[in-house]
Structure 1
């Protein structure tokens, strides 16, 4: 007879470890343990059977995998945490004994750690990092707009702003921006980086209120890792398009009345303005022929034509504003509009008294459009169009320059539709979105249209046939079918309400137009 094992020494109980046990094993405080788990990407898990793991007890506890805790025990940053804890004790003792020399020496030898090796562990390849860039970029953009407080240092805000500006310059140089949407929460962007969509949100440039119920210590731990990650990504992205990193301006001279800044500050402000191109690396002579220019033998003619058509559409989108010279008025959001316009090949500037980086004045006769968000006052130029900021975003989403008449100052703007919404069968589709979808259908290849016709010609069951099929169904499948039909009826009633609401709004607008006439 074999040796009997005690309860909790085999099976699922050996795979998990409680948080308090992990703290004792690693000899860490709870804040340091949370910080280390965030940096390493380790999160709590939920056992399938808590009683087996907790030796029969049903108490609510937080569990981790034993292998994850064993992995943390060998992390070099763990030793740095312990060294920093010892450093704080020595520093407090020196300050308490009034020994300024000792305290100064300890401050100079303060333990410092880097997260480079953790980034390489979590993202073995560059594409892995790009796939996980959405959250990192959104967090960096958020911190770049926060004010300096007792919880957030000004150094962190400045570093986040620098990293985001560098990323924006890459998007401008590569013309990889694809979608823009002005929402209540902020401005949504989507760029295509190495054939992967990267989506992030940028808050509006208002005074940010710091919520009291947010633990900024945890957020600062995330931002500490994300800064290192985004720094690696920016370096790789700049090299891929042949730009110097850190970025350098091709021409530091800018049209500005501010002359109190030094050369380094002027260059930093010019880079942050996004109005000028960056200095490129010296190009090496490349005699090799790129393989991507030649089709593979296995590729079909139809696939090649489809790929060429998509490339032509992308090329037109990338140069959407190439023939536009746009001036921004004082009241419009400058940072986001400059980024959008320059990402699609346009020229943009603003008043030199407003900020550094302006490239031409308002009196320039070559200006084609001026973005305004107030009733026109003062001098007007007949050689340009005055439009509201929504014209920029809608033109990007429709992939063409929309008629400016719908976006004149003091004109009721058309509906600003989100390009991130994917319509399903039975959903309510606004007329403007339907017009956009119809234009996209016209660009569909003929073979796809034939497939759509074949699908539409397939016979559907009559009401009697559906009832007969429902009668022979098992009870379980019949209940599931009834739930599906109920959800469809509910969705159709909601669509009907939205259609009636839209019709009432259109009727009111038509009545107003008649009264004005």
Structure 2
């Protein structure tokens, strides 16, 4: 019996992927709606490992999605809303073409809409995506009112961003802040989870032409829903009204205007009051004043005792950090950024105000004698009040990151500011730590960096003196060694000269003795010529070294 024929591209990786065009036809959506749906649901294209097999032998460039993701989108209720909206647009265009104005108004009143609440149902899931949501909403809230973005989207992003800032102020959950070239980075602890976002500076800017604002608007549509859901849960966790409410006496009464205009005016004033970050939010039920309950402490031993002590110290340090500016009153000059400074000061228990012409919500004037710190950004202040510190804005940010009020002498107007260190950098063992960071760490430990610097200078001077002494000793030793070498060389020279002198004297003595003995030897040689060899006279064959010595041979 013959087996079944195996055909190509009917099993394996070829059946796990689907092209974008086939996915669009399967969902019956246009390309723009398909992109919006993928962004809202978090569906991304995939690059298959064996692209030629998936593409059925073709090498043409195509975009592939997982087939199970597309099947998952088939049951999405937003797809039906997209189809209903397409039908609505076709009917509205037909009504305008036939000049049926009543039908057009009726269709506008029944315009289909959809909600995105079902996409993120859990707060824990929403908090994981809160970083991007906050960054996008803060970015859109600074956009100018042009044709690039809808005005309603910009206003919604601004309202949600201000509501989140008020929650951070009420809960005092801000932990870190950093000024960078891109913007201001913040980090807050929301329900035990760190959330980091960036806000742009309040500068005028033009829309870049190489950015697809439709994609950004789709992301913002999802992020606004996500942030609204998170704000609702966070406000209720603190027993606060949502939407937030301020005190009634802070909102003026309006009369003589239509109802719609009055409501819009009141909503605008409420948003301005919330954006001032100086008003206290209204709680659902006023908390009853109860006696502070002290927790019982049980004796713990071993490793648990160390852990308990460490946690208790961390909690005490955190509570102290939350009350960093408590009891201090700040005044912001016109040239400093009001919103970030007011937000940071209020997060740590300080009171802040500004000139009434800048923004509503000012609580006291510049002439108030109870002001302790005035934030300025000018090289010189003409009129100064005794008993008040005039500081540059960086002092507020550096104090928050250092978790203590830094010395004010380094932040006076016109003074060269110290480097602004990033609190998001954690040095490990063996890494380089700048001296400014070492100084801050010493201040956090309760040590005086001035005394430490003096001690370090003294130690450095002592080390330099020791090094100088060692160098002098080494030089002296080297000089002594050279002198000893010279002495040895001189002694060797003198000894060689003595040997030469002795040899020369001996040679002279031998020469004199030989000369004096010549006449006698000549007579003996003449008398007895046969005895000349026996007498040991000089012969050419004699092996003696000196010609003046009688040879023993």
TM-score by length of structure 2 reads 0.74
Aligned partner of 1:97 in structure 2 is: 98
Aligned to 2:110: 109
Equivalents in 2 of 1:16, 1:296: separation in Å? Answer: 61
The aligned residue for residue 10 of structure 1 is 11
| Alpha-carbon RMSD | 2.5
Match of 2:423 among 419, 422, 427: 419
Report which of the two structures shows the higher radius of gyration computed on alpha carbons: 2
Which residue does 1:271 correspond to in 2?
Answer: 274
Q: Secondary structure at the match of 2:185?
A: strand
Where does residue 474 of structure 1 map in the other structure?
Answer: none
Residues 16-36 of structure 1, C-alpha deviations (whole Å, 9 max, x = no match): 111111011111111110100
Q: Secondary structure at the match of 2:316?
A: helix
1:146 to 121, 143, 146: 143
Q: Residues 51 and 206 from structure 1, CA distance in 2 versus in 1: closer, same or farther, beyond 3 angstroms?
A: same
Q: Describe the shift of the 1:334–1:75 C-alpha distance in structure 2 as closer, same or farther (beyond 3 A).
A: same
Q: How does 1:238-253 map to 2 (within 5 A)?
A: 238-250=235-247, 252-253=249-250
Output the CA distance in 2 between the equivalents of 1:312 and 1:227.
36
Equivalent position SS for 2:119: helix
Deviation at 1:428, TM superposition (A): 3.8
Partners of 1:166 and 1:65 in 2: how far apart? 39
Structure-2 residue corresponding to 1:76: 77
1:102-501 correspondence to structure 2 within 5 Å: 102-120=103-121, 125-250=122-247, 252-253=249-250, 262-283=265-286, 300-424=304-428, 427-438=431-442
What is the alpha-carbon distance in structure 2 between the residues aligned to residue 274 and residue 63 of structure 1? 48
* Distance in structure 2 (CA, Å) of the matches to 1:57 and 1:416: 56
CA 1:59–1:137 in structure 2 vs 1: closer, same or farther (change >3 Å)? same
1:232 aligned counterpart, secondary structure: helix
How far apart, in 2, do the equivalents of 1:210 and 1:291 lie?
57
2:86 paired residue number: 85
Rounded to whole Å, the distance in 2 between the matches of 1:62 and 1:265 is 46
> Alignment length, in residue pairs?
434
SS in structure 2 at match of 1:178? strand
Q: Distance in 1 between matches of 2:47 and 2:125?
A: 26
What is the deviation of 1:422? 2.6
CA–CA distance in structure 1, aligned partners of residues 203 and 295 of structure 2: 46
Q: Deviations over 1:416-475 (max 9, x none)?
A: 0111123345544321123334556789xxxxxxxxxxxxxxxxxxxxxxxxxxxxxxxx
Name the residue aligned to 1:513.
none
Which residue of 1 is the match for residue 67 of structure 2?
Answer: 66
Highest RCO, 1 vs 2 (Cα 8 Å, sep ≥ 6): 1
Matched residue of 2:250: which SS? coil
Superposed displacement of residue 55, structure 1: 1.4
Match of 1:487 in 2: none
The secondary structure found in structure 2 opposite 1:191 is strand
Deviation at 1:49, TM superposition (A): 1.1
2:30, 2:4 → 1: CA distance?
Answer: 38
Query: How far has the Cα of 1:45 moved from its partner?
Result: 1.1
Please report how far the alpha carbon of residue 6 of structure 1 lies from its aligned counterpart in structure 2 after TM superposition.
1.8
Deviation at 1:332, TM superposition (A): 0.4
Q: How far, CA to CA, are the matches of 1:333 and 1:53 in structure 2?
A: 56
Contact 1:238–1:244 (8 Å) recurs in 2: yes
Is the contact made by 1:39 and 1:225 (CA closer than 8 Å) also made in structure 2?
Answer: yes
Residues 16 and 339 of structure 1, relative CA distance in 2, 3 Å threshold: same
TM-score for the superposition, normalised by structure 1:
0.79
Structure 1: where are the runs of 5+ without partners?
444-517
Q: Distance in 2 between matches of 1:365 and 1:437?
A: 34
Cα distance in 2 for partners of 1:58, 1:94 equals 47
Shift of 1:108: 0.8
Maintained 8 Å contact 2:187/2:196: yes
- Partner residue, 1:42: 43
Residues in 2 aligned to 1:403 and 1:286: alpha-carbon distance in whole angstroms: 37
